[in-house]
Chains A and B, each alone.
Chain A
Amino acid sequence: MTLGRVSLVVCVVLLALAPLALSPFRLGLLAKYLCFAIVAVGIALAWGRGGMLTLGQGVFFGLGGYAMAMYLKLEEAGSAGLPDFMVWSGVEELPALWKPFGNPVFALAAVVLVPGLVAFLLGLLVFRQRVRGAYFAILSQALAAAFVILLVGQQGLTGGTNGMTNFSRFFGLDLTDPNGQRAVYAIAALVLGVTFLVAKLLVRSRFGRLLVAVRDGEDRVRFLGYDPAVVKTITFTISAVMAGLAGALFVPVVGIISPAMLGIVPSLELLVGVAVGGRFVLAGAIAGAIAVNYAKTLFSEDFAEGWLYLQGGLFVLVLVFAPKGLAGVVESARARWSRKPVEVTA
């Protein structure tokens, strides 16, 4: 077995044992990290493989999260009632936008399709116009800012700054009960596994090679008969769908979704984990996202104000000294290790 396989098995075992070893509170935190890890896989695809520095994944995370939250709120309110926050904001009738979200199938489809469609249309528009590099990064960041303003402004529709909270049930699971929480954790772990697998297959496919080619020489790829805009749009859409799924899981895991989790800063935080772990390696991105968010919890408990500085410092350090992240450090260490005997004989 290769080192990669071994570590994969170890990770799966650790994730499977976590519910037995961790308190419900800690398990909930781990489930939250797994949600961020799902986003990280998408970012590693778009940024690491495709060269699209997306600073606005919070938008897609939010679209998935809100779609899920709307369904859960309607479920809780029952057939006649209104979600609690609407009552407080003086809304008397269920808005038309909300009505289809009472249907669980529609809501689940929306979790995937809404972020996917937004990313697809945006990608077509932007990548066909050959917007790339820093311009794309700025555009995606502006999108995150605009999305938050939109959410905050529509108090009656979205719950405004407070977002939506107080979820007690998730498709028959009791979220206040440790067993329900374990089940939600298991779903998050499973979705992460599937996401990782899909991304891995994609990276290894011919499309994955083409994506790397687009990243390294977009203009050259045109003269091989491919339209780079299509390749980038597909990849961007996939990464958005992953973020949407993560957002939808985040709602039952954490119990809240609000604009504060989707703006520019949270979108950047998603990126920091990927950069630290290594954006070129999927497993590295996952490990980085989990590690950075764990560190955040750790530091926030004892010294909350310091965390932002620490995180910023970490980001700068990684970009300067290990641009390929931890995965890059591991890789070069392995290369040195396996090269050693050759150097001795030479």
Chain B
Amino acid sequence: MTALLEVRGLRVVFDGFAAIDGLDLTVEEGELRFLIGPNGAGKTTLIDVVTGLTKPAAGSVRFGGQELVGRREHRIVRMGVGRTFQTAAVFEELTVVENLDLADTFRLPLRSLLRRRRGVSDAVASALEAADLTALADKPAGVLSHGQRQWLEIGMLLVQRPKLLLLDEPVAGMSRSERERTGELLHRIAATHTVVVVEHDMEFLRKYARKVTVLHQGHVLREGSVAEVQEDPQVREVYLGRAKGKAVT
């Protein structure tokens, strides 16, 4: 396996506070990696840096050997890095299909966008199905429930066909059954893509995670399988400081 994402010596400073300090992370091609850590550990900040939203003070982020730091957001997307946000951001006035179509057409030359959309591309159709939104295809995205919006966003990512997917808390605020379906969707995606998931939910983690990276105060604390990480005393102390002594449940 080859490294798809290599983060080296990353440092991010907000108003004098180092949100990320000396972080190194390698994600291999084809991996499904979970990022966990207490609030303020720098998980979302890391995703923001990789996708160009936040500029680091120092360090490098290489994707397939190419430096991402300093590139503009849409350029990074065009290189093959896709992301979702904690609060699902879909375009409420556009229909579900139009939302997906928008994620599909960024590779087209601008002048071909001046034409009307005719029909639905294969990628959009299969994403509709994967996200279980076929019945709502022509409804404005504004009518979707919270869970459906998250799936629509994941569907948009699928249509975008990135090499690397970064999901920021995809199951936050979801019901139990929605979580399960999201987990299944996640596994299906992970079969063909490299995926990094930021997640708080321990149950979800145990069920679907393979390799886990624990962040703490802006650097990597521990990396390993779910069981290894859960057994690690240091992880228990920082991650579940208040529940010291108890098993990680």
The answer to whether B82 and A209 touch across the interface, beta carbons within 8 angstroms, is: no
Q: Which B-chain residue is minimally distant from A212 (CB atoms)?
A: B93
Do the beta carbons of A210 and B102 come within 8 Å of each other?
yes
**Residues in A whose Cβ lies below 8 Å from that of B78:** 225
Knowing A216-B92, A223-B51 are in contact, say whether A206-B116 is a contact too (CB < 8 A): yes
| Cross-chain contact of B83 among A202, A212, A223, A230 (Cβ < 8 A) | A223
Write the A140-160 contact mask toward B (1 if CB under 8 angstroms, else 0).
000000000000000000000
Measured in the bound complex, the distance between the Cα atoms of B82 and A209 in whole Å is 21
CA distance A224 to B84 in the complex (A): 10
Chain B binding surface, main DSSP class: helix
Q: Looking at the complex, which one of B93, B113, B160 makes contact with A205 (CB distance below 8 Å)?
A: B113
A216 and B113 contact, CB distance less than 8 A? no
A201 to B117, CA, bound (A): 12
Is B74 engaged at the interface, CB distance under 8 Å to the other chain? yes
> Are B74 and A206 in contact, with the CB atoms below 8 A?
no
Q: Is B98 an interface residue (CB 8 A)?
A: yes
Q: Which of A195-227 contact B (CB under 8 A)?
A: 201-202, 204-207, 209-210, 212-213, 216-217, 220, 222-227
Instruction: Determine which of A206, A217, A225, A227 lies in contact with B113 in the assembled complex, contact meaning CB atoms within 8 Å.
Output: A206
B114 touches A216 (CB 8 A): no
Q: Known contacts A206-B101, A213-B91, A213-B94: does B156 contact A224 (CB below 8 Å)?
A: yes
Give complex CA distance A223, B73 in Å: 6
Q: Which of A217-251 contact B (CB under 8 A)?
A: 217, 220, 222-227, 230, 234
Residues of A within 8 A of B115 (CB): 205-206
Complex Cα distance, B118 from A205, in Å, reads: 10
A205 to B106 alpha-carbon distance, docked (Å): 14
Contact B160 A209 (CB under 8 A): no
Q: Determine how close the nearest CB of chain A comes to the CB of B207; give it in whole angstroms.
A: 28
Q: Is B89 an interface residue (CB 8 A)?
A: yes
CA distance A214 to B93 in the complex (A): 12
Considering only residues 65-124 of chain B, those with a C-beta below 8 Å from chain A are: 72-74, 77-78, 82-83, 85, 89, 91-94, 98, 101-103, 105-107, 110, 113-117
Q: Given A204-B116, A210-B113, answer yes or no on A222-B98 (Cβ-Cβ < 8 Å).
A: no
Lowest 9 A-B CB distances belong to which pairs?
Answer: A225-B106, A222-B73, A225-B77, A206-B113, A207-B113, A220-B89, A213-B91, A222-B74, A227-B74
Q: List 11 A-B contacts (CB under 8 A).
A: A205-B114, A205-B116, A206-B115, A207-B113, A207-B114, A212-B91, A223-B51, A224-B106, A225-B78, A226-B74, A230-B110
